[in-house]
Amino acid sequence: MKKSDTRKHNTPIKVYCLPEEKLAIKNNAKSTGLSTTTFLRKVGMGYEVKGIVDLEQVREMSKVNGDLGRLGGLLKLWLSNDPRTDGVDPERLKKLIGMIEDTRGELKGKMSFILDNY
| pLDDT tens sequence across 13-57 | 898 999 999 999 999 898 888 899 999 999 999 988 777 766 677
Helix (H, G, I), strand (E, B) or coil at 45: coil
User: Residues 19, 23, 28, 29: what is their CA dihedral angle, to the nearest 10 degrees?
Assistant: 100
Return d(Cα 72, Cα 88) in angstroms, integer. 16
Q: What pLDDT sits at residue 55?
A: 65
Q: What pLDDT sits at residue 56?
A: 72
Cα Rg for the chain, rounded, in angstroms?
25
Helix (H, G, I), strand (E, B) or coil at 63: helix
Q: DSSP character for 85?
A: G
Give, in degrees to the nearest 5, the angle at Cα 81 between 66 and 98. 45
Q: Domain locations in the chain?
A: 15-52, 55-117
CB 52 within 8 A of CB 58: no
| Cβ count near 4 (within 10 Å) | 8
- Mean of pLDDT values over 92-112: 82
pTM (whole model) above 0.85? no
